[in-house]
Structure 1
Amino acid sequence: MLSEYYEQIEAIALDLALVGLFLLMGFAVHDVLKKNSVPMIGRVVVYLVLFLGAAGFVFKGVVQFFWQAN
């Protein structure tokens, strides 16, 4: 039974790992910005870049889902 769903399990594990990595990057960036007392505009730019990177992975997943559905 496990061998039948191996690809699905692998895809879910990869997605969860990427979410975990982005969360850890967010925490690390937050800690560095807080310790160095970066101005608000700098924080907004850094968080925007981090969010756009994560959004790129989400968009890639959505496009891949629709591409494979056809």
Structure 2
Amino acid sequence: MLAENLKNFEAIGMNLLFAGIFFFIGMAIHDVLKQGNVPKFGRYIVWLVLFLGCAGFIAKGLIQISWEGSGIG
């Protein structure tokens, strides 16, 4: 297998791993909020923080792709 293909496979695998981790974190938070009878406002705050974490990860990936495409990184 060529080194370029291996590098792409590794990048895709890491992205899928992180997506899976975020999914399981979301499921755990959902379960804790459901069992803890947390008020709606508190649930919204928790999901907002989780969403912002995911959005930051996605933004980092997009910035990295654009920099590598333009030859900066």
- TM-score computed with the length of structure 1 as normaliser: 0.95
- Between the two proteins, what is the percent identity of the paired residues? 49
CA offset digits 1:3-24 (Å, max 9, x no partner): 4400000000000000000000
Greater relative contact order, per chain length (Cα 8 Å cut-off, separation 6+): 1
Question: Do residues 21 (structure 1) and 15 (structure 2) align?
Answer: no
Q: Which residue of 2 aligns with 1:47?
A: 47
Q: Which residue of 2 aligns with 1:66?
A: 66
Q: CA RMSD in A?
A: 1.0
- TM-score computed with the length of structure 2 as normaliser: 0.91
3-12 vs 39-48, which moves further = 3-12
Aligned residues: 70
The one-letter code matched in structure 2 to 1:29 is I
- Give 5+ residue unaligned stretches, structure 1: none
CA offset digits 1:27-68 (Å, max 9, x no partner): 000000000000000000000000100110100000000000
- Give 5+ residue unaligned stretches, structure 2: none
